[in-house]
Structure 1
Amino acid sequence: MAFERDLTLEVPAAEAMARTMACRGPDAEGVWTSRHAALGHRRLSIIDLEGGAQPMTAQVPGGEVCLVFSGEVYNFTELRAELEKLGERFGTASDTEVVLRGYLRWGDGVAERLNGMFALAIWDTREDRLVLIRDRLGVKPLYVYPTRDGLLFGSEPKAILAHPEARRVVDADGLREWLAFVMTPRHAIWHGMRQVEPATVVTVDARGTRERVFWRLETRPHPDDLDSTIARVGELLDDTVRRQLVSDVPRCVLLSGGLDSSTLTVLAAGHLGAERVPTFSVDFVGQTDGFAPDDLRGTPDAPFVRAVAEHVGADHRDIVLDHAALADPDVRRKTLVARDLPVGFGEMDFSLYLLFKAINEHSTVALSGESADEVFGGYRQFHDERIRWAREFPWIAINAGPLDRDAVWLDPGVRAALDLDGYRRGGYADAVRGVTRLDGESDLEHRMRIMSHLHLTRFLRFLLERKDRLSMAAGLEVRVPFCDHRLVEYVYNAPWSMKNHDGREKSLLRSAMRAKLPAAVAERVKSAYPSTQDTFYVKALQEQVRELLRQPGHTVFALADRRKLQAAAAQEPAAVDKLGRLGMERVLDVALWIDLYRPDVRLP
């Protein structure tokens, strides 16, 4: 969008930006222009495969309105019926047209009426106005970059960085945000770029930029007793899964055998009736037989996956990966490009991407249990007395010391100059400032409300972006029923005494679903996303690190501690601990990021 230029003459720039989104939308593409706006779109066809093409336009008295839209609106059928009663006429069966017609009828007030995951942009030629809207929990990403006479926007930073006006600068503040793991609202790491906040409408015209928040995670009294709360949780989940199964393409469920994914599987099976619910899980060669418990994973997934699949008669497939696939440098490159940043999760990202890629051969839509831990209190830090009262981000406090993600690879001088601890302290103070306390709320209840708020408004954003980027890079749309805003705000306001009523994690969810799940699954202790225990993977990692060390002039060594990297690469593979492995993953990612993105990194 630009107010001082004719963008009908700059179609190639819009097309170049849209091309970077080809993986997100492999089925169709399009660019629409007017004098001051150019909207590009890549489509992953889900609803109304023929009629839902974008950009979608509507001719109206006084001009034209154009929409580009990423995501899904789950209540589009109800909204369509409401709009038809108001006189709107439809030419397609798509949810995209419902959003467009909704805007024509209600303006940006359409945002409050949408139940779904979405990031959308509307150009209204009647007023030369851009309207950007992002869903309540931030399931779908949306980035903006102000220019001298307008605004660049896109679903991912790479789309914006493809435009010649966007500068690839990461300054000291960007480095702090990237490394501190605090997820500051709006921050996008790249200097000059920012994220549109969840539940926000951004309006841009010749008068300037305005923002309106249409939903907040607010503190409210919870009037229901325990039995009523458990029943309501079950009702909300069942309705949400029903809505999110709507699709004109094959859909499935990601099944790990844990409480969250098993819940979605049995509810989906109930709605599909005679149709067998397709399910997929990820595993590693030899891992089930040779599984060794650790502090995050007490049991292998496979036996519980089988129990749920047999329980509902699922059409189940195991995606089994070996160390060679995980260590493939091309997989590292694809996952890094998908995420635009060197986040350093290594094979846990690689296996997720490979899982999504394999699923895409059978299904285009998948339901995922992401965010149940944030909503219901599933993480260890919710149940650790020391962490509950720590005045820092819980996911930092629980990993302090032995799993300090920065100390394992970052040059000590760079770390000191960035003052990451100070940055985290400031971020924490800002994050807890807006959490309202109910009259009569005990210190423990308020403290647990703060814990919940931090996870839902900060930590969850990282996980949702990870899931969205890696799935869309494989042409797979992942839906997250536990992010339905009705469920989130209801459970958020349930007191901790209910969320922990049986002394276990996710008590409300467990109680709501116990009768529908195999007993072993209903009682299973939380297990983290699986990670390979194959030392051959570590050996391959070390070989790649040694290759990097043979490039002493590489820019990565302006950030990385070369001696720690050398020490990790020289150990016996079986002796490499979590710290060493984590450090190697991060440095390989940073080096590749520098090679691919050529960032202008400005140290303090």
Structure 2
Amino acid sequence: MCGITGWVSFERDLSHERPTLEAMTRTMACRGPDAEGMWTAPHAALGHRRLAVIDLEGGAQPMTASVPGGEVCLVFSGEVYNFTELRGELEKLGERFRTSSDTEVVLRGYLRWGDRVAERLNGMFALAIWDTREERLVLIRDRLGVKPLYILPTRDGLLFGSEPKAILAHPAAERVVDAEGLREWLAFVMTPRQAVWHGMRQVEPATVVTVDARGRRERVYWRLETRAHTDDLETTITRVGDLLGDTVRRQMVADVPRCVLLSGGLDSSALTVLAAGHLGAEAVPTFSVDFVGQSDGFLPDDLRGTPDAPFVRAVADHVGADHRDIMLDHAALADPEVRRRALEARDLPVGFGEMDFSLYLLFKAISERSTVALSGESADEVFGGYRQFHDDRIRWADEFPWIAVNAGPLDRDAVWLKPEVRAALDLDEYRRACYADAVRGVDRLDGESDLEYRMRVMSHLHLTRFVRFLLERKDRLSMAVGLEVRVPFCDHRLVEYVYNAPWSMKNHDGREKSLLRSAVRDRLPAVVADRVKSAYPSAQATSYVKALQEQTRELLGRPDHPVFALADRRRLQATTRQEASAVDKLARLGMERVLDVMLWLDIYRPDVRLP
């Protein structure tokens, strides 16, 4: 796992622009704490920061290959899980290897197949190749968008990076957020190309971008396609189990310590028992997060009916895991420095407050013992785990399900924005337009019932929009502390197979994630297999709310701060005057958002252009 960045210019010699490349690469230091590398040519400059995971000695980057007519240079972020099979195939075709790294497999694959190497890769990756033979840049992103990749077209070329901060380190990048960027940031619709920063955009998942002197072109190499599902229920359950088992086996490959993130829910517990099976006599390391004093005084809410701890222990004991609980106190969560680090990791104030901070602190603690972690992220999107999948009111709503389910009581932008700013941005209209665009490409099978098609649309929206927010969050907060988090449920073979299974199978026992539950039930403790979904834990202590109130009061004492061009001062003042125990989650979220925006304005100094 690594960070990549670069600069292509067809009108200037970049061989002498190393200081700028160094500045861009330096921003990726957290993503790659083990090594730094840079490579320049007359019209290209590529930078790389490395987190060594496979072939610790031989996998250094940028990696080059001399070929007739020139040189090819690769910078690569992520992992290719089928690199062993691809290496064997390439060796039969005459390719010779100097290392045992997956990076060289990608490079040799490009030399043999060109940008069609994309279709052959199974993994999470973002990569850039400069081919001096054609003076051409090739950018490729994985199918589900697990690894981020941003670009900023320039007058005579292009800038790219794993994160916006790498691009923003270049003098040509303006730190502007215009009305369109504000709408995308605030509306929570996750438009695939959008990057919020003016002129910047994301390379879409499953896309190859080529750039040369003639311009920029794109090719989509994989889509989430509608296909007839011909397997019966028993065969489908078996196939899901086989695919997941193969995926976990592949993703356990590493030359560094590995672990599993264990919450005691169905998803992480399934990964834990499968990982334990592959390790044999070796105890699988597992980690969970909890808050000091919360287990004894746990209060159920509409997203969390049970505490995680008893279920975590049941799974850990069941497989004989080497388990550690990471206990966080509320002072650590409320530490402004932790907020700053989480914000800098994400480049935008798009988080969920203390749930981001606890995830950051969890990853930081894990990184002291492991370098690779398996996570259950995206199982809810793949198998239909969220409550909106099971609510008739939401199923038939013509809006994004994650917005419809929270309509009214949890309107993320209304809790802190000035009413006049919200009105000027017209976020409701922006959401309607984005929703119409998102559902336009969902194909319907001949004879598919209205309900089955509606559930297909819901699945498609979650797998092409909502999951990207969660994957970006996981990537940024883990890479900020040099931890590689792998997501087996994002294997494209599993995703496309389950996507096309009918809803009647996904809900065959009347519960959420029926196919996954049936596929792994016999390997789990019964209490875990039958546990009702519980969301990622949230700190419940009023001491955390009191800290938020105090920090918000300090901000209110700075009436000239630019955050108040956006934020509703009166609403904030009212929240700070309440008893901490009476502050509801809506008002709490409002304080979180304003404190994040305040920090973002202080650190990034963006030019925010309201309509």
| TM-score bracket, shorter-length normalisation | over 0.9
Partner of 2:81: 74
Residue number among 151, 166, 177 corresponding to 1:159 in the alignment? 166
- Deviation string for 1:357-380 (max 9, x for gaps)? 000010000000000000000000
Secondary structure of the residue that 1:501 maps to in structure 2? coil
Structure 1 distance, partners of 2:587, 2:190, is: 25
Matched, 1:289 2:300: no
SS class of match (1:211):
strand
Aligned residues between the structures: 604
Instruction: Return the match for 1:430 from 437, 442, 467.
Output: 437
Question: What is the match of residue 41 of structure 1?
Answer: 48
User: Structure 2 CA distance, aligned partners of 1:212 and 1:594?
Assistant: 36
Residue in 1 aligned with 2:244? 237
Aligned to 1:219, the other structure's residue is in SS state: coil
- After the TM superposition, which residues 254-403 of structure 1 pair with which residues of structure 2 at under 5 Å, given as runs? 254-403=261-410
Distance 1:31 1:412 in 2: 48
Q: How high is the TM-score relative to the length of structure 2?
A: 0.99
Deviation (angstroms), 1:569: 1.1
Listed as ranges, the gaps of 5+ residues in structure 2 are: 1-7
SS at match of 2:124: strand
SS at match of 2:9: coil
**Contact kept in structure 2, 1:187 and 1:195, CA below 8 Å:** yes
1:233 CA displacement: 0.2
**Cα drift, residue 459 of structure 1:** 0.2
Question: What is the distance in 1 between the residues matched to 2:77 and 2:20?
Answer: 20
Q: Percent of counterpart pairs with the same letter?
A: 86
Unaligned runs of 5+ in 1: none
1:591 aligns with 2:582: no
Partner of 1:3: 10
1:219 and 2:222 are equivalent in the alignment: no
**1:335-369 residue CA offsets vs partner (Å, 9 max, x unmatched):** 00000000141100000000000000100000000
The answer on 1:191 being equivalent to 2:198 is: yes
Question: Quick one: distance in 2 between partners of 1:126 and 1:11?
Answer: 22
The equivalent of 2:563 in structure 1 is 556
1:453 aligns with 2:468: no
Give deviations 1:541-590, integer Å, cap 9, x for gaps: 11100110000000000000001111111111111100110000000000
Q: Alignment partner for residue 140 of structure 1, among 147, 167, 190?
A: 147
Is 1:102 paired with 2:99? Answer: no
Distance of 2:524 and 2:349 partners within structure 1: 39
The CA distance in 1 between the partners of 2:17 and 2:595, in whole Å, is: 37
**1:24 corresponds to which residue?**
31
Aligned equivalent of 2:483? 476
The answer (yes or no) to whether the contact 1:344–1:582 under 8 Å persists in 2 is no
Residue 582 of structure 1 aligns to a residue whose secondary structure is helix
Letter in 1 for 2:509: D
**In structure 2, distance between residues paired with 1:470 and 1:116:** 20
Q: Which amino acid aligns with 1:586?
A: R
Partner of 2:553: 546
Question: Separation in 1 of the partners of 2:563 and 2:489?
Answer: 39
User: 1:419 maps to what in 2?
Assistant: 426
Say yes or no: does 1:568 pair with 2:556: no
Aligned twin of 1:112 = 119
Q: 1:292: Cα distance to partner?
A: 0.4
The residue number in structure 2 matching 1:520 is 527
* Matched position secondary structure for 1:437: coil
Contact 1:200–1:212 (CA under 8 A) maintained in structure 2? yes
CA distance in 2, matches of 1:52, 1:573: 52
Tell me the residue number matched to 2:97: 90
AA aligned to 2:361 is: L
Letter in 2 for 1:114: L
Name the SS of the counterpart of 2:287 in structure 1: strand
* Matched AA of 1:261: S
Partner SS for 2:48: strand
Indicate which of 399, 406, 410 corresponds to 2:413: 406
| Alpha-carbon distance, 1:60 to partner | 0.5
Q: How far does residue 90 in structure 1 lie from its aligned partner after superposition?
A: 0.3
1:319 CA drift (Å): 0.1
Counterpart CA distance in 1 for 2:26 and 2:302 is 43
Q: Could you tell me how far apart the structure 1 residues matched to 2:576 and 2:406 are?
A: 23
> Residue 53 of structure 1 aligns with which residue?
60
Q: Give the distance between the partners of 1:255 and 1:534, measured in 2 at CA.
A: 23
Q: Which amino acid aligns with 1:451?
A: M
The Cα offsets for residues 43-93 of structure 1, whole Å up to 9 and x where unpaired, read as 000000000000000000000000000000000000000000000000001
1:271: Cα distance to partner?
A: 0.3
In 1, the alpha carbon distance for the partners of 2:587 and 2:449 equals 42
Considering only aligned residues, what root-mean-square deviation do their CA atoms show, in Å? 0.4
